[in-house]
Each structure stands twice: as structure tokens, then as C-alpha cells.
Structure 1
Amino acid sequence: MPDTPWLTILGIGEDAPEGLSRASLAALEDAEIVMGAARHLSLLPPLRADCVTWPVPFADGIETLLGYRGRRVVMLASGDPFWFGAGGSMMRHLAPGEWRTLPGVSTFSLAAGAMGWPLETTRCFGLHAAPLSRLRPALAPGVRLIVLLRDGAAVSSLLQYLVAQGWGASAISVLESLGGPNMRRSDLRADESVGGNYAHPVCAAIEVAGTGIALPLASGRPDTFFDSDGTMTKQPVRAMTLSALAPRPFEHLWDIGGGSGSIAIEWLLSDPSLSATTIEQNPARAARITANATALGVDRLQVVEGVAPAALQGLTRPDCVFVGGGLSQALLDWIDGNLPAGTRLVANAVTLESEAVLLKAHERRGGDLLRIELARAAPLGPGRGWKASFPIVQWSVTL
């Protein structure tokens, strides 16, 4: 481990160079190479270092930066490099001791200060290169959001998205060049905007209002949130299945026989640290799963088109597996033989044949076996009666 890191990841704001700390100025004065976006480089005082403009897209500059390893290098990033910033993207390429960070004030802090909002109760999103649908789980009356946007043109797209979701009454403050001499604030309502020209860097502070449908926080969201051809785990069974899966931070799920993707999607909605892969053999359903995941703000869902267990080869190992379709003895044997001890498995069966597979598995391996029988009130002649659904047998076990 070197005594002095060769790389300094330096957060810079719109008030540079006046707003730079002594440590930041010292790092710049000592550097041989300073690499950053053209806008950031233009904010700096004259330097002895060679200034290198970071290319677009961002990933194209990583190899160039790493080529300077061993020299004294400063990498410029906006605000706090480790809050929706470039710092996190660099960590997979750097070893401990190679780098240090000198963070600036984050845009989120500046925006919260401009709005007078407590940051701990405000939802923060970095949507520089992510779809606006990432906002979907957070849209509910009274929620406050601070959203970092790709550029000024993205403001119009944001307004259109809010209106389309039924939140056109939301109050929005468009904040440009926060913290610098060119800072500007524009207050408007999403459905009353006539457009405008906004300069990068730009973010939006949103107080959500309107008649849109908020996404519930609990598992077992209504079936109407999912586009489906009828092949899906219905709401009450889905709630019980998510309870059995028991997602925990940073875990990865395999959802085998995805259908509409509802199980994997609800898994991902539980926590932003979770990841999931769904396996679906029907191409139309696989495409529908992707669309559902994107619409509900969890576009990070990986969709694999194929038949298990063959389609499971080479996938990221799971912490938890759900089998909702394609259940067979061969599949259970493959899971038992290829996944490590401690992996949690939940399987649902609706046919007599698949139920027999779970009965046998329970006899051999133990675990919990649950029979779920549900009935809903439905019209029956002049009155009402109970309309029963097919019973579901659910087996859950830890390998």
C-alpha cells in the first residue's frame, strides 16, 4: 500500500475556486494531472498540472485515468463524489490505499438549504443516466423529492412524466447552478409549465400533489399495478410469498417462471440494495416483465429468457430462490445440487402434479409446508357467496 495515494477524487462546486478548501487547493497545486469535465476545469485557477478533459460517456474516461497510475492525479467530480457521484463508479477499479477523497457540498444539501427542507425526510434521486420511472415508488401526496437531472432539457421530460402519472399539481422548483454566482430558481407547477431553457447543472425540488395512484409500501400490491396475461401470483398469495422469501439487505433473488414479474418486482421494491434475476421461457411474458419493472421504478431487474435449470447456468448466485413456474423434481434436484448451503428456497404449486413434487420434497428435506386456500365474496343470485380460488401449496426451506 503506497504511503500517499496517487489519486485524489475532489468534489467541486459552482463556487470554485473560492469555495474550495485549503486541502483541495493544495491537492490541485501538487497535482501532475487534473482530469475532469470541461465545465469543472473552467472553474479552476491556472494550474501547473496538465488538464485533461473527461470524455462523454463517463465510462470512456476511466481507462485514461487509470493510465496515469503512479503519478499525482486529481479527478474532479460534482459536489460529494460518493452521493450519486463519480466516486462510486471508480471503486471497482481501485485498490485500498490508491485513492483519497476531498468531498465538496452535495447538490442535495444545497437544494435542501434553498428549499428549507429537512434532508432526512426528503427523498433524493440521481437521474443523470437513469429513467424518470425510478421516481414511481416515491410518488405520493406530500412527499418531497430532490432529483438530479441529466441536463436542462430533462426538466420538460420530468414535468411530462409527473403529469402522465397523475401528479400534475406538484409544485416544482427548478434549481440551476446551485452554490455559484449563476444560481437561478424557477418555481412552477408541473401541469402549468410552458417550458423554458434551463442550464446544466440542474436539479428539481418537487413537492408531490395530485390525483395519481400511490404505490403501497407493503408487499402484496394490487394486481392492477402489473400488466399480465393472467399468469401471475395473485395479490394475497404474493404477500404471503414475499413474507416467506423474507428479503434482507443486499440479497439476490432468482425468480424462476416469472410470469408478469410481480414477485421479483415486489422483492426489488422492498429495498434499493436488493437485486434480482427472473427466468421466463415465454418471449412475450419476458418482454412484459421488463416493461412492468421499468414502469414501477425497478428497471434494475435482470430478465433472462429461457428454461430452468439450463437457463440458470452462469447467473449470479442467489441468496434466495422462488419457483413459481416450471416446478419439477429435476429442477429441485439441480437447485439442491448446485446452490450452496444457506440458500433459501420458496416454491408454490397449484396443480396436483406439482403439489406431489413438493410433498415429496418436504418429506425428504423438511422445511415448512403451507396450504393456502382463499375465497372472495362474489354475486350469487340475488345475494353473495364465497368464490374459492385454486388452493396453493407453498414449500419453504433453507438448503
Structure 2
Amino acid sequence: MTAQGTASPIEKTSEAPWLSLVGIGVDGIEGIGKSAREAISEAEMFIGGERHLAFLPEDGRPRVPWPSPLQDLIDQIPGYRGKKLCVLTTGDPFFFGIGALLAEKIPIEEMKVYPAPSSFNLALSRLGWSLPGVRAISLHGRPLRSLLPHLVDKDRLAILTANRNSPGEIAGLLEAEGYGGSILHVFSHLGGQGETHVILTARELASAHSEDRIQDLNIVAVELAAEGQGLSGHLLPGLEEGHFRHDGQITKREIRILTLAALMPKPGDLLWDVGAGSGSVSIEWLRAEPSLEAVAVEKSKARLENLRANAEALGAPRLRAVHGEAPGCLTELSDPDAVFIGGGLRDESLIESCWPRLKPGGRLVANAVTLEGEAALQRFFSAHGGDLVRLQVSRLHTTGLLHGWRPGTPITQLRIAKP
């Protein structure tokens, strides 16, 4: 794996396909095609979940159930090269399935893949929804609050759940975040004889005991309906400061929006948020795209506690918080694609320490609020180039019956991309 969590390139091979990856629905072997049946018939051994392995005939061929964690067995699978191995999985192996993990270890030329309709395909076909118009999300191995960045009024979600309790937990979260009127379609055992479809609002499901109508194998489709201005409800960054726990050390909303635009996040990018304070920049970075990663570095224990609480509350639980003082604590971190340095600069030494670690094509943004910090940005600019921008936000205030503008602290911002 790379630092961004994406697969490292695998060299192509002339090896003949030896691994069959077969997707199965709840109807088992009866529901798969002829080619997939032949792959199962010719296999010398099988790997799969207990439920999938139970569909096979008892004929003495070795069966290996998936362990926990999966990675322990995935790392061993290349060692089976030379055998006809069949891996059984649910639905489409490359749609929130095991396929991507296997492709990190085995060239695709050595596999034959036989996908079945995924639970997403089946659920959306029942509703007449187009897959490109729906946000597909998996809660397998992910915290419930990771849903928060996806809550946008009038949007549609399809959520692959963890178990029969998940629909009620999703409904409770929606109710708590001001989406209680959202309509939830809970499908169980899609494609099987026991298929069910329960339709309730989030408020109804959160207060009802519907577990008897919901099975472990379920998927939830949601028609989001916001009731007032909740935490989320918009696609672009710009959460109000009141959503964050902080001691005043926070990048203000308008400056934060411009800072994130200057950082130009791209899928899979890793951000260093150095001197993170409340974590507002790195949290909004993570909320923007599920593949993004971020490390927030903060020397104050009190601010670090606020930062961690904010990440959990605002739907960015994957934020990595590091307690320490830069640049010393940066040595063990993976090289970043983007760096943000907040307003506490005294000299250019911190920027000069981060610059060599930034990947080619990466972006560095630094904000200064003091004359010393501004001078540091000017010296770095003179040595390396980039852009210097002066930002200031004025807010309306009232004096008696009259109105006027109250200017905020001016911000000097350095923006530079590494060649």
C-alpha cells in the first residue's frame, strides 16, 4: 500500500489465470451463470465466508473460511499460485468487495472474475433509481458518524450495512442531525425467497422496534429530507465556527474556504495540518472526499482533545491526530501531497522543513497573522516563488440604530505548488 492507501502498481504477468473470483447472491449457486459454475466445478480449493462455502457440495475439496482480519489470509493467497483457487464473495467483487484487496496482491491477468448483481444494483432496481444519481456508501468496518459528510438535503444514499441493528442506528443519527423526515427503504435478503422491503421515516424507525422485520443481510436506501439548517446540508466546505470546539485558535470560516480551495485536494491525497488548533481545516478536507487522508499536528494537549472531539462529532473519524511540536514530530510521517501551516509562524524554519517533504506537484499553503509571520512568508516567497495574497473579512455590526463594518484580522497567505 502507498501512503494514501491506494494499491501499489503490480507488474503484468504471462501467468495463466489460476484464481477465479465468483460473486454469489442469496440464491446461492443456482443464481450464477454457466461460466461461474464451471469455475467452481474446476476449482481445487475454495476461500470464502462461511455462508458462501455452505452453498458448495460436500465433495472433499479444501475450504478455507475468511479469518479476522482478512488481510492475514489475503497476504498468503499468492502462495497458492499453481493451484486452481476459487474465491467466493458477495455480489460484485469490485464494488465494496474483496476484489480490490486481491488486485493489490495478484495481477488481474491471473484472475477470472464472475460478478453477480450487487445488493446496490438490486435495491436500486426495486426503487427505479439510477446508480450514478445515488451516493453508495459502506458501513462495513466504518464508524456510523462517517455518514455525516454525506447528509445533503434532497440527496439519495444507498448504504451497505454491518448487521440488522444498522438501519435503526442510521435512523437515530438522521433524527439527531435534523433529517428525521427522511424516508428509509430497508431491504433484507435481496434476491432471495425471504426478501422484504420496509419503508419508514428516520423518525419512525428510530423509535420503532423493527428488528423482527429486518435481517442481518440488509441494505438501506435513503431519501434525505433536511428539517432546518443542520450540521451538514451542503456539498462544499464552510462549516460555521460554532460547530467546532475551540479556544479561539480556529481558521475562520471564510478564510478556511479559501485555504481549502488553495490546497486543491485530489482523490487519495494526504494533508499535513501543522499547528492544527481545532482541526477545522483537516476535518473539512476529510469531509470533502472519502479517499482523502489527513494528519493533524498540535502541541497543545487541550487543543488536541478538542481536535479529536471535533473529528468524531463532524464525521471525520479517520483524522490522525499527532501530539507534538513541528518540525521534530514530522520525521515519522509519510510525505504529504498538501501542507497547511496555520497563523502562528514566527520565522520560515517550519515552512523550510516541510517544503522538502512535500511531494512533487504538491501544494503548500501558509497563513500569517503577525508581522513576523508575514516577513517569514515574504522571505520564503523571495527564495521559492509562489503567490502571496492578503485576505480580510469584515462583518456587519450595529451601533444603536446604525450599521457599519467591523474588519477582522488581516491574513497574509502564501500559496505555492512544488514543481
TM over 0.5: yes
* Stretch moving more, 44-53 or 134-143: 44-53
Q: CA contact under 8 A between 2:336 and 2:357: conserved in structure 1?
A: no
Question: Does the 8 Å CA contact 1:29/1:47 hold for their aligned counterparts?
Answer: no
2:223 is matched with which residue?
A: 207
Q: Is the 8 A contact 1:151 1:202 kept in 2?
A: yes
The more displaced of 310-319 and 279-288 is 279-288
| Greater mean alpha carbon deviation, residues 31-40 or residues 245-254 | 245-254
* Distance in structure 2 (CA, Å) of the matches to 1:183 and 1:24: 24
Aligned equivalents of 1:104 and 1:341: distance in 2? 41
Partner deviation per Cα, 1:296-324 (whole Å, 9 max, x = no partner)? 33323222221111111121211221111
Q: After the TM superposition, which residues 371-382 of structure 1 pair with which residues of structure 2 at under 5 Å, given as runs?
A: 371-382=390-401
Partner of 2:282: 264
- Which amino acid is the alignment partner of residue 207 of structure 1? E
Residue 273 of structure 1: CA displacement? 3.0
CA RMSD of aligned residues (A): 2.1
1:79 aligned residue: 91
Deviation at 1:291, TM superposition (A): 2.8
**Equivalent residues in 2 for 1:245-264, closer than 5 Å:** 245-264=263-282
Please name the residue that 1:389 is paired with.
Answer: 408
- Structure 1's 325 and 377: CA in aligned 2 closer, same or farther, altered over 3 A? closer
Q: What CA distance in whole angstroms lies between the structure 1 residues aligned with 2:355 and 2:71? A: 39
Alpha-carbon offset, residue 107 of structure 1: 0.8
CA, structure 1 residues 341+140, in 2 after alignment: closer, same or farther (shift >3 Å)? closer
Moved more, 16-25 or 374-383: 374-383
Kindly state the Cα deviation for residue 66 of structure 1 after the two structures are TM-superposed. Answer: 4.7
SS at match of 2:306: helix
C-alpha contact (below 8 Å) 2:339/2:363 kept by paired residues: yes
1:314 aligns with one of 327, 332, 337? 332
Asked if residue 301 in structure 1 is aligned to residue 319 in structure 2, the reply is yes
Counterpart check, 1:244 vs 2:256: no
Measure the CA separation in 2 of the matches of 1:208 and 1:31. 45
How far has the Cα of 1:28 moved from its partner? 0.6
The residue that corresponds to 1:124 in the other structure is 136
Matched residue SS, 1:3 = coil
Q: Could you tell me whether the CA contact under 8 Å between 1:260 and 1:289 is conserved in 2?
A: yes
Q: Which residue in the other structure is 1:227 paired with?
A: 245
> Residues 146-185 of structure 1 correspond to what in structure 2 (within 5 A)?
146-185=158-197
Q: State the SS of the aligned residue for 1:393.
A: strand
Query: 1: CA distance between counterparts of 2:113 and 2:306?
Result: 42
The answer (yes or no) to whether the contact 1:254–1:318 under 8 Å persists in 2 is yes
Aligned-partner Cα distance in 2 for 1:398–1:230: 29
Distance in 1, Cα, partners of 2:261 & 2:292: 15
SS at match of 2:28: coil
Q: Could you say what secondary structure the match of 1:18 adopts?
A: helix
The residue number in structure 1 matching 2:47 is 35
**2: CA distance, partners of 1:218 / 1:68:** 47
Q: Which string of whole-angstrom CA distances, capped at 9 and with x for unpartnered residues, describes residues 209-257 of structure 1?
A: 2415233222333223322222110011111112221223332221111
Gaps of at least 5 residues in structure 2 are: 1-12
Deviations 1:345-384 (A, max 9, x none): 1110001211121122222222211111221111224422
Change (3 A) 1:310 1:140: same
SS in structure 1 at match of 2:316: coil
Answer whether contact 2:335 2:357 (CA < 8 A) is retained. no
CA gap of 1:120–1:336, structure 2 versus 1, over 3 A, is closer
Letter matched to residue 164 of structure 2: G
Distance change >3 Å, CA 294–CA 84, structure 1 → 2: farther
The one-letter code sitting in structure 2 at the alignment partner of 1:6 is W
Distance 1:199 1:56 in 2: 22
Cα distance change on mapping 1:362 and 1:272 into 2, 3 Å: same
- Displacement of 1:207 in angstroms is 1.3
Q: 1:349 maps to what in 2?
A: 368
Structure 1 position 48, deviation (Å): 5.4
Shift of 1:44: 3.3
Aligned-partner Cα distance in 2 for 1:292–1:259: 11
Are the equivalent residues in 1 in contact too, given 2:75–2:105 (CA < 8 A)? Answer: no
Amino acid at match of 1:385: G
On the 8 A contact 2:152/2:235 being kept in 1, the answer is: no
**What are the ranges of 5 or more consecutive residues in structure 1 without an aligned counterpart?**
none
Instruction: Please tell me whether the aligned partners of residues 308 and 326 of structure 1 are also in contact (alpha carbons under 8 angstroms).
Output: no
Calculate percent identity across the aligned residue pairs: 39
**Is 1:14–1:43's contact at 8 Å kept on the other side of the alignment?**
no
Task: Decide whether the 8 Å contact of 2:299 with 2:325 is kept in 1.
Answer: yes
The Cα shift of 1:121 comes to 0.9
TM-score (norm 2): 0.89
Match of 1:17 among 29, 35, 57: 29
Of residues 124, 127, 149 in structure 2, which corresponds to 1:115? Answer: 127
* Cα distance in 2 for residues equivalent to 1:294 and 1:312: 23
Q: 1:49 aligns with which of 54, 61, 84?
A: 61
SS in 2 for 1:277: strand
**Whole-Å separation in 1 of the counterparts to 2:237 and 2:38:** 51
Aligned to 1:323: 341
Letter in 2 for 1:204: V
2:221 & 2:417 partners in 1: Cα distance?
A: 45
Which stretch shows the higher mean deviation, 28-37 or 56-65? 56-65
Of stretches 324-333 and 253-262 in structure 1, the one that deviates more from structure 2 is 324-333
For residues 23-59 of structure 1, give each alpha carbon's deviation from its aligned partner in whole angstroms, at most 9, with x where no partner exists.
1111111111111111112233455532222234433
Residue 71 of structure 1: CA displacement? Answer: 1.5
